[in-house]
Structure 1
Amino acid sequence: MPLFVVEYTYSAETVSARDTHRAEHREWLKGLVENGTIVASGPFADKTGAFIVIVATDAATAYELFAQDPFARLNLLESTRIVEWAPVMGPLRG
C-alpha cells in the first residue's frame, strides 16, 4: 500500500486548546499505530505543526480518516496537507 505524509500546521491561537485535548489526540493516534496505519508520528521541534507518515489506499481515504482526529474535529489545526510519498532510500523505500 502507498505511503502518505500528513502534515499539520498549528496556530498560536490554539495552543491552550491543543494542550487540553492532547491526550485524546494521542490516544486516537495510538490506535492508528496499533492497527498499522501510522508508520511514524511526531510534532515539529518548533511546535508549529506535526508530521505523520501513514499507510493508506489513497489521499481521499487519508483525508477522511484524519478528519476524525480530535484536533481536526475541534478545529485546532490551521491546515492539513496529505501527499503521497515515494521514498527511494532508507528502510521505507518501496
Structure 2
Amino acid sequence: MTVVAVTYRYTDDVARRDRVLPEHRDWLRGLADQGVLLVSGPYGPDEPRGALLLFRADKAQVRALMEKDPFAAVGGVIAETEIAVWEPVIGFVLAAVRD
C-alpha cells in the first residue's frame, strides 16, 4: 500500500485553531481506527507552526480526506498543505505499511 505524507502549515490564528482542535483530533482518531492514518502530530515549539501526517492510502484518497479535515473544512486554519507519496525503506513504519 502507498504511504502518503501530508505537511500542514497553519495560519497565525491560534485561537481559531485551538477551537477546532478537538474536532480535528476526533476526525484523525477515526482515520487511525480505520487503519488509514499511521501517525500524525504537530511540529515542536521551535519549528514553524504546522504538522506532519502519514497515511496508508493513495494520493487521490488523501486529497479527498484533506478536504474533510475540520481544520480545512470548518476552521480555515491551514495556510498551506503539501501532499506527497513517501517510500519508507528503513524503520518501524515499514511494519505498519506491510500489515
Deviation at 1:88, TM superposition (A): 1.1
Aligned residues: 92
Q: 2:78 matched to 1:73?
A: no
Alpha-carbon distance, 1:10 to partner:
0.7
**1 or 2, which has the higher helix percentage?**
2
TM-score using structure 1 length? 0.90
Identity %: 37
Q: In structure 2, what is the Cα distance between the partners aligned to 1:28 and 1:91?
A: 24
User: Corresponding residue for 1:22?
Assistant: 21
How far apart, in 2, do the equivalents of 1:36 and 1:91 lie? 16
User: What do residues 46-92 of structure 1 show as CA deviations (whole Å, max 9, x unaligned)?
Assistant: 36100001111x21221111110000103210011110000111122
Q: Which runs of 5+ in 1 are unaligned?
A: none
**Where in structure 1 do 4 or more consecutive aligned residues deviate above 4 Å?**
none
Q: Tell me whether 1:41 sits opposite 2:40 in the alignment.
A: yes
Superposed CA RMSD:
1.3
AA partner of residue 81 (structure 1):
E
More displaced 10-residue stretch of structure 1: 43-52 or 25-34: 43-52
TM-score, normalised with respect to structure 2: 0.86
